[in-house]
């Protein structure tokens, strides 16, 4: 079920001469949970379009499951790599929500109850089960975005790519996207999410790839990518570390990219202080400072 993806020295030039990828190397192991971030126009969408054959490299090559993607037709790649477009309106074409979601799995050969199960499961996952008979264009933008995700989920591909899945989503929509990523990850499927939301990225990814001007400039776990030495590189592509990463660094706790990591580091520090105080014995409790040399006891 799980397959690897590799991008080797890929350059991509659009017909108008725009060099959108300028030598990208990236290896994604089966089951990884990866985020791609970077300023507008840094090449994120162009990179993921190479992975499902929507675009083919100008130079270099893409390997899907260890095989050169150039040997696969788009339909063959679609069975391996699912991509939910950044702009759902470029993806959606059917007149009914259910038909839209059924299109991909039907192309993969699913029929009857198996097809129904794939469609219902995907609609449930994005919370659109009630809207199966609606026209996609009667849904708001955020729901069309979820519909585009459902169409990809229904295909059951080992690699799922979500291009800016949280754009336009309220807290409930973001929670849905997180739950979808968790589930895919539990199923050992590879998830690649592009996002401008650093909090979402830190909380949902185990690896963050930072792009700038068609190149990868940082690649590592959130605690490394959002750590102080990388702040200048982040700033170069108009990104900021998450708030808990800034606070943890200010407090000398190291890089704590999520609220959870920050709280854990604060509790650990609190525990260390409490143990130190306990070892030092009575009189050391917080709020009862002992007068040391050069320190006048209170009240004098
Ligand atoms: N169809 C196209 N024809 C020509 N140039 C394009 C086309 N699509 C994208 N580009 C250009 O390629 C570069 C990379 O674009 P891309 O859409 O991959 O960036 P991105 O990182 O996904 O940006 P965003 O955060 O805005 O989605 C940009 O300079 C963009 O203007
Ligand atoms: Mg994009």
Which residues on neighbouring strands pair with residue 83, listed in sequence order?
Answer: 161
Is there an atom of ligand 1 within 6 Å of 57 CB? no
Is there an atom of ligand 1 within 6 Å of 65 CB? no
* pLDDT for the residue numbered 283: 58
Domain edges within the chain = 32-40+73-236, 242-280
How far is the centre of ligand 1, averaged over its atoms, from the C-alpha of 85 (Å)? 13
How far is the centre of ligand 2, averaged over its atoms, from the C-alpha of 43 (Å)? 7
Is there an atom of ligand 1 within 6 Å of 24 CB? no
Count of CA atoms in the C-beta half-sphere (13 A) of 127: 16
Ligand closest in space to the Cα of 237: 1
CATH number of the 32-40+73-236 domain: 3.40.50.300
Give, for all 300 residues of the chain, the pLDDT tens digit: 689 999 999 999 999 999 999 999 999 999 999 999 999 999 999 999 999 999 999 999 999 999 999 999 999 999 999 999 999 999 999 999 999 999 999 999 999 999 999 999 999 999 999 999 999 999 999 999 999 999 999 999 999 999 999 999 999 999 999 999 999 999 999 999 999 999 999 999 999 999 999 999 999 999 999 999 999 999 999 999 999 999 999 999 999 999 999 999 999 998 888 888 888 877 555 544 444 444 444 433
Is there an atom of ligand 1 within 6 Å of 38 CB? yes
This prediction has a pTM of 0.91
- Phi/psi of residue 139, each to 5°? -90, 155
Is there an atom of ligand 1 within 6 Å of 237 CB? no
Look at residues 47, 54, 4, 39 and name the one whose alpha carbon lies nearest to residue 23: 47
């Amino acid at each position: 079920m799980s397959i690897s993806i590799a991008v080797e020295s890929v350059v991509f030039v659009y017909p108008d001469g725009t060099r959108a990828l300028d030598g990208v190397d990236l290896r994604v192991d089966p089951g990884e949970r990866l985020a791609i971030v970077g300023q507008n126009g840094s090449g994120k969408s162009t990179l993921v379009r190479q992975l499902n054959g929507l675009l083919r490299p100008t130079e270099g090559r893409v390997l899907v499951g260890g095989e050169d993607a150039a040997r696969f037709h788009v339909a063959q790649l679609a069975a391996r790599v699912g991509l939910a477009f950044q702009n759902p309106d470029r993806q959606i074409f059917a007149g009914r929500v259910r038909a839209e979601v059924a299109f991909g799995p039907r192309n993969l050969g699913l029929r009857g109850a198996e097809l129904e199960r794939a469609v219902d499961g995907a609609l449930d996952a994005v919370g659109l089960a009630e809207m199966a008979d609606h026209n996609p264009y009667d849904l708001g933008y955020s729901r069309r975005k979820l519909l585009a995700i459902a169409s990809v989920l229904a295909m059951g591909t080992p690699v799922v790519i979500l291009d800016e899945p949280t754009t336009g989503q309220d807290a409930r929509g973001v929670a849905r996207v997180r739950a979808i990523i968790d589930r895919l990850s539990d199923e050992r499927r590879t998830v690649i999410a592009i996002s401008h939301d650093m909090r979402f990225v830190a909380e949902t990814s185990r690896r963050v790839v930072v792009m700038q001007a068609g190149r990868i400039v940082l690649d590592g776990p959130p605690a490394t990518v959002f750590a102080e030495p990388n702040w200048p590189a982040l700033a170069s592509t108009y990104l900021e570390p998450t708030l808990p990463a800034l606070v943890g660094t200010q407090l000398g706790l190291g890089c704590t990219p999520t609220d959870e990591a920050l709280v854990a580091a604060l509790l650990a520090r609190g525990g260390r202080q409490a143990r130190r105080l306990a070892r030092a014995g009575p009189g050391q409790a917080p709020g009862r400072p002992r007068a040391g040399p050069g320190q006048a006891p209170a009240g004098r």
